[in-house]
A and B are shown apart, each in its own frame.
Chain A
């Protein structure tokens, strides 16, 4: 589903690479936590998967496509297979909940009929059935993040990328969001979540990939936030 092969990402502004020779593979339907300190390369990883950036070295395969060979004009089409959620929600403040979710379908040219059916469905799934006509500022943080998740999954993407989706939320609200993400994962969507939230990672007991200074130092099935055993799979980890 996602394969990184000796991927290095070097930004021109810094001497140290953001990602250093990362090799890993994520399979269909997996739920993966990406942990590590700020600046460890988590966001760079997600941006590379989205092809917002190109790697300095190495190859990235996503959904059977080698991103290096993907023409720029085909990137929009490629991104329709990916959903993204951010810490700061990124909703459009002047649009209602319904319009925010519908917007992402309108701009990829979905029909009105499809939108009228798909948006209420997905709002029901994220638990916002009665709030379609509210505006983002009338909602709580958790509810806003649910809108963002609804927007990310309404087009039924194969992969959901979440960059610290619970970063702005209190623990109980976060738990609700995690339940939702888990439900999305069980329906077959690959979920990759970058997070600092140790409690969530420990509780969920899913695959954990830990990055330190751009290198994979741990890749553990059913791991916790803290290193329990150093069981490195894949190369590129030479600490």
Chain B
């Protein structure tokens, strides 16, 4: 144990750099994991609310199958029949019809502070079926089978609006993982260099140890502990940083500025990530230190 202390003191600057590099790389790892779970949470939250809308023609629309003629009751019944048919019914959780007045009420609520709201009359707004799917990823079946129907202006999967947001978040988390990977490589190389230096400065002792028959484990252990201690300090700092990010940035800043109903990750997620980071740090350090020292153990 005292040897570990001397080893750590002897190359302080290397040990500090090991601590910093593991700290930063594991913080990135933690951020990437948290970003992924944030994406997961948002997907779960929004996809539950995302519906497929089957918009019917209005007298003022010529999009899709519409020809400036209001959809007839027959056409609407045909769509409803299709929704309850054996092909589509298994996919559908529930659906409801929204007429002009309901659509107008919802429109006025959503755009109450918008000037246009005053010019819009109920006739402008599409009547629609709002469909909740059991599995939101299977919206294509619904879109394909209903798009061609007479009197249907458009079948729109709301989830499509969200995809670019998730794509952006995903790209961010992949970037974080990439940076984390590079930093971890740097950390591993630094740890093994530090251990080699430490072993080199003690090569006389090591030579004598091998000569008098000290076991490999006896020789190895102080060096591995040395690497693990340095990495452990770095990973504990990283775990602390991740907890602080969630507490002060996500919950404190984002939570108070973005007053939507979006679900943010909580301290529970961060507390789950912390031990993962410490585990990665310790395992990587132990592995790279034992590889580095094995050169001095060859008999």
- The answer to whether A90 and B214 touch across the interface, beta carbons within 8 angstroms, is no
- The answer to whether A76 and B204 touch across the interface, beta carbons within 8 angstroms, is no
Known: A51-B299, A79-B211; 16 extra A-B contacts, CB below 8 A, are: A73-B216, A76-B210, A76-B216, A76-B299, A77-B213, A78-B213, A79-B210, A79-B213, A80-B213, A90-B207, A90-B208, A92-B205, A92-B208, A107-B208, A108-B212, A151-B212
CB of B215 closer than 8 Å to a CB of A: yes
Residues of chain A contacted by B218 (CB below 8 angstroms): 107-109
CB of A166 closer than 8 Å to a CB of B: no
Which A residue's beta carbon lies closest to that of B219? A107
Residues of chain A contacted by B214 (CB below 8 angstroms): 76, 107-108
Q: Closest CB of chain A to B6's CB: distance in Å? A: 10
What is the bound-complex CA distance between A107 and B208, given in angstroms?
Answer: 9
What is the bound-complex CA distance between A77 and B216, given in angstroms?
Answer: 10
CB of A104 closer than 8 Å to a CB of B: yes
What is the bound-complex CA distance between A217 and B215, given in angstroms?
Answer: 38
Q: Give per-residue flags for B185-212: 1 if the beta carbon is below 8 A from chain A beta carbons, else 0.
A: 0000000000000000000110111111
Binding site for A on B (CB under 8 A): 204-205, 207-216, 218-219, 299
Which A residue's beta carbon lies closest to that of B204? A92
What is the bound-complex CA distance between A190 and B212, given in angstroms?
Answer: 17
Q: Closest CB of chain B to A112's CB: distance in Å? A: 15
CB of A40 closer than 8 Å to a CB of B: no
- The answer to whether B212 and A155 touch across the interface, beta carbons within 8 angstroms, is yes
What is the bound-complex CA distance between A177 and B226, given in angstroms?
Answer: 41
- The answer to whether A52 and B212 touch across the interface, beta carbons within 8 angstroms, is no
Q: Closest CB of chain A to B67's CB: distance in Å? A: 86
- Partner among A52, A80, A107 whose Cβ is within 8 Å of the Cβ of B299: A52
What is the bound-complex CA distance between A155 and B211, given in angstroms?
Answer: 12
Residues of chain B contacted by A80 (CB below 8 angstroms): 212-213
Q: Closest CB of chain A to B229's CB: distance in Å? A: 21
Interface size on A, residues (CB 8 A): 22
Which A residue's beta carbon lies closest to that of B214? A107
Residues of chain B contacted by A73 (CB below 8 angstroms): 216
- The answer to whether A104 and B212 touch across the interface, beta carbons within 8 angstroms, is yes
Residues of chain A contacted by B219 (CB below 8 angstroms): 107
What is the bound-complex CA distance between A78 and B204, given in angstroms?
Answer: 21
What is the bound-complex CA distance between A73 and B204, given in angstroms?
Answer: 21
What is the bound-complex CA distance between A51 and B209, given in angstroms?
Answer: 15
CB of A133 closer than 8 Å to a CB of B: no
Q: Closest CB of chain A to B159's CB: distance in Å? A: 59
Q: Give per-residue flags for A25-57: 1 if the beta carbon is below 8 A from chain B beta carbons, else 0.
A: 000000000000000000000000011100000
CB of A103 closer than 8 Å to a CB of B: yes
What is the bound-complex CA distance between A204 and B121, given in angstroms?
Answer: 123
What is the bound-complex CA distance between A96 and B205, given in angstroms?
Answer: 14
What is the bound-complex CA distance between A108 and B205, given in angstroms?
Answer: 13
Residues of chain A contacted by B213 (CB below 8 angstroms): 75-80, 82, 108
Residues of chain A contacted by B215 (CB below 8 angstroms): 76-77, 108-109
In the complex, the 6 A-B pairs of residues with the closest C-beta atoms, listed nearest first: A79-B213, A107-B214, A80-B213, A104-B212, A75-B299, A76-B213
What is the bound-complex CA distance between A108 and B214, given in angstroms?
Answer: 5
Residues of chain A contacted by B204 (CB below 8 angstroms): 90, 92
What is the bound-complex CA distance between A75 and B211, given in angstroms?
Answer: 10
Q: Give per-residue flags for A105-127: 1 if the beta carbon is below 8 A from chain B beta carbons, else 0.
A: 00111000000000000000000
What is the bound-complex CA distance between A52 and B215, given in angstroms?
Answer: 15
Residues of chain B contacted by A79 (CB below 8 angstroms): 210-213
- The answer to whether A107 and B209 touch across the interface, beta carbons within 8 angstroms, is yes
CB of A203 closer than 8 Å to a CB of B: no
Residues of chain A contacted by B211 (CB below 8 angstroms): 50, 79, 84
CB of A227 closer than 8 Å to a CB of B: no
What is the bound-complex CA distance between A77 and B218, given in angstroms?
Answer: 12
CB of A140 closer than 8 Å to a CB of B: no
Q: Closest CB of chain A to B121's CB: distance in Å? A: 88
